[in-house]
């Protein structure tokens, strides 16, 4: 996560400096969508057939190389918008191939009655990387430029690969059937389609995120909301991630709440309300406080959603169920990235954020009333 966040923040900041355009930032979302959507489906198949730790290690080593190359080009003042777009495409495929294996691996390592705690701990450690990344970016970019943060991102990806090699537990999926990859994808799709809870959760992700994905346009928000540069981007990103850590920890204290589906819906409704307040906020300090609360609400919803997916799916289908969850999330992220970037240019960044918050609240109400499996799902840990 440290490597990923440093790369996202740095390339977004550099691209906005080169172009000064919300559309150029939005194009990153379209590129990610185009390359992630097909690859994530195969990532789920690989996660159900290949040793998961091996898959994670290989993808992290590829990330090491690409982010290292971005650092080299930045150091030589030769990084262009085209380089950023190409690297984004490569890393989009790479991360989506390894992502389902990372998520599905958790259930191989801990007993079922501890899974929601493990997911919370996993989410928290990733968010710690998200807090450290903007601090590194903000300090080093202001002092020495963006090349050194990218180099640190490359080193972090390498450390992650080595750490994965040290996991000794067997993470080889149990199934051995010989179906083609396409049939395996279809099998996973049919399973999720007929699941009593997952379709509603996935549609909730899509409906809310498409209209509210603000994280990757933070350079634009920092500029147009607060007239700030790298330091403002760093502050907002760090506060958002610290809030997400608090939200993930909060899930541990909410395990006695049996209605996990209602917990997800309530956290997402709060997210929509906070988004409206963020759009109305004035002053960087108030914005940082609200964006930290946004991170906390999102952290609760994300952690519980991931736990529900892992707890309700058998091991031989878990990778594909997780990958379809990622398809929903990533599709929404990338469309939302483009939508909010363009909307910010057309109607203003504040208006885009406020309208996104209103629509998010409406989506929660629709899912609450339409998909009874989500609102009625209960889990006692």
Q: Give the tokens for residue 311.
A: 């707890």
Q: Is residue 33 part of a domain?
A: yes
CB 113 within 8 A of CB 105: no
CB 12 within 8 A of CB 24: no
Q: Phi and psi at residue 240, in whole multiples of 5°? A: -60, -45
Q: Is residue 361 part of a domain?
A: yes
**216: region left, alpha or beta (phi > 0 left; psi from -120 to 50 alpha):** alpha
| Helix 315-347 and helix 181-193, axial crossing angle in degrees, nearest 10 | 80
Q: Give the tokens for residue 354.
A: 């406020």
Q: Is residue 36 part of a domain?
A: yes
Distance (Å, whole) CA 328 – CA 294: 20
**3 closest CA partner among 94, 97, 120, 118:** 94
CB 201 within 8 A of CB 305: yes
Distance (Å, whole) CA 279 – CA 225: 9
The one-digit pLDDT tens for each residue of the chain (381 residues) are 889 888 888 888 888 888 877 778 778 877 877 887 777 667 777 777 778 888 889 999 999 999 999 999 989 888 888 999 999 999 988 887 887 787 778 877 888 778 777 877 887 787 788 778 878 888 888 788 888 999 999 999 999 999 988 888 766 665 555 556 667 777 777 887 788 788 888 888 888 888 877 776 777 788 878 877 777 887 888 888 888 888 877 877 777 777 778 888 999 999 999 999 988 888 888 988 999 999 899 888 888 887 787 777 777 777 777 777 777 776 777 677 777 777 877 888 788 888 989 999 999 999 888 888 777 777 655
Residue-wise DSSP of 142-188 = HHH-SHHHHHHHHHHHHHHHHHHHT--S----S------HHHHHHHH
Q: Phi and psi at residue 376, in whole multiples of 5°? A: -95, -5
Distance (Å, whole) CA 377 – CA 238: 33
Does the pTM surpass 0.85? The reply is no
Domain of residue 209, CATH code: 1.20.1250.20
Q: Is residue 175 part of a domain?
A: no
Q: Is residue 173 part of a domain?
A: no
Element (H, E) at 194: none
Q: Is residue 191 part of a domain?
A: yes
Q: Phi and psi at residue 196, in whole multiples of 5°? A: -70, -20
Q: Is residue 254 part of a domain?
A: yes
Element (H, E) at 130: helix 115-144
Total number of domains constituting the chain: 1
Q: Is residue 243 part of a domain?
A: yes
Distance (Å, whole) CA 132 – CA 4: 12
Q: Residue 216 carries which DSSP code?
A: G
Q: Which domain holds residue 322?
A: 2-167+181-376
């Amino acid at each position: 996560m440290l490597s990923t966040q440093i790369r996202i923040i740095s390339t977004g900041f550099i691209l906005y400096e080169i172009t000064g355009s919300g559309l150029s930032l939005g194009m990153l979302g379209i590129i990610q969508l185009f390359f992630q959507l097909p690859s994530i489906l195969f990532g789920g198949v690989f996660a159900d057939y290949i040793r998961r730790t091996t898959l994670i290690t290989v993808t992290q080593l590829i990330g090491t190389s690409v982010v290292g190359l971005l650092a080299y080009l930045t150091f030589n003042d030769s990084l262009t918008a085209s380089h950023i777009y190409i690297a984004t495409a490569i890393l989009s495929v790479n991360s989506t191939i390894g992502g389902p294996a990372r998520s599905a691996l958790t259930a191989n390592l801990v007993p079922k009655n501890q899974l929601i705690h493990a997911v919370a701990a996993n989410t928290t450690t990733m968010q710690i990387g998200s807090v450290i990344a903007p601090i590194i970016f903000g300090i080093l970019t202001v002092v020495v430029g963006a090349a050194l943060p990218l180099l640190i991102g490359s080193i972090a990806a390498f450390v992650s690969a080595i750490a994965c090699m040290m996991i000794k537990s067997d993470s080889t999926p149990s199934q051995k059937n010989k179906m083609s990859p396409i049939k395996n994808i279809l099998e996973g799709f049919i399973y999720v389609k007929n699941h009593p809870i997952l379709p509603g959760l996935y549609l909730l992700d899509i409906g809310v995120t498409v209209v509210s994905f603000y994280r990757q346009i933070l350079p634009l928000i920092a500029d147009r909301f607060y007239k700030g540069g790298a330091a403002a981007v760093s502050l907002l990103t760090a506060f958002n991630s610290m809030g997400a850590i608090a939200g993930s920890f909060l899930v541990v204290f909410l395990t006695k709440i049996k209605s996990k589906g209602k917990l997800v819906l309530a956290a997402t409704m709060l997210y929509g309300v906070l988004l409206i307040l963020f759009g109305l906020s004035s002053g960087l300090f108030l914005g940082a406080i609200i964006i930290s609360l946004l991170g906390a609400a999102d952290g609760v919803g994300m952690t519980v959603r991931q736990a529900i997916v892992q707890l309700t799916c058998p091991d031989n289908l878990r990778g594909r169920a997780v990958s379809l969850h990622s398809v929903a999330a990533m599709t929404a992220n990338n469309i939302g990235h483009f939508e909010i970037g363009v909307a910010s240019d057309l109607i203003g960044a504040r208006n885009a954020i406020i309208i996104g918050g209103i629509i998010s609240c409406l989506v929660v109400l629709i899912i609450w009333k339409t998909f009874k499996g989500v609102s009625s799902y209960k889990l006692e840990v």
